[in-house]
């Protein structure tokens, strides 16, 4: 069983990307950050866009479309929060500094 809190227990590529995108524990270097951002976060956004488009083409109900959109948006927000959080921790930022950086990044967007 894969433990989210222990990055040393990652055994395969799926667990590696789940750890990078959806776990807030641990530290990651610049290479892991780039891999998580380009090969983890962008495919997540692309999947959400394609799934939403597919539901619109099929003529799915508005409620189903909304639920899928909310779930994929939540996953995107978690990934875009936890990935920089671990990188900032590795760079030596304290908890308050990391929180302020991430909050102001979201406000800036």
User: CA 39 to CA 25: how far, in whole Å?
Assistant: 20
What is the predicted pLDDT for the residue at 99? 85
Return the number of other C-beta atoms located less than 10 Å from residue 31's C-beta.
Answer: 8
Q: How high is the pLDDT of residue 6?
A: 64
Q: What is the largest CA-CA distance in the chain?
A: 49
Q: Cα separation of 65 and 78, whole Å? A: 20
pTM for this predicted structure: 0.73
Backbone φ, ψ for residue 92 (5° rounding): 100, 10
Binned at pLDDT 50, 70 and 90, residue 29 comes out as confident
Choose between 64 and 74: higher pLDDT.
74
């Amino acid at each position: 069983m894969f433990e989210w809190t222990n990055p040393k227990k990652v055994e395969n590529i799926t667990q590696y990307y789940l750890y990078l995108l959806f776990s807030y524990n641990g530290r990651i270097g610049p290479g892991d950050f780039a891999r998580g951002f380009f090969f983890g976060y962008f495919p997540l956004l692309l999947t959400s866009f394609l799934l939403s488009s597919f539901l619109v083409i099929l003529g799915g109900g508005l409620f189903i479309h909304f639920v899928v959109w909310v779930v994929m948006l939540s996953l995107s927000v978690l990934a875009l929060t936890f990935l920089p959080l671990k990188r900032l921790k590795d760079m030596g930022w304290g908890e308050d500094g990391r929180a302020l950086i991430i909050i102001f990044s979201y406000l800036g967007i």
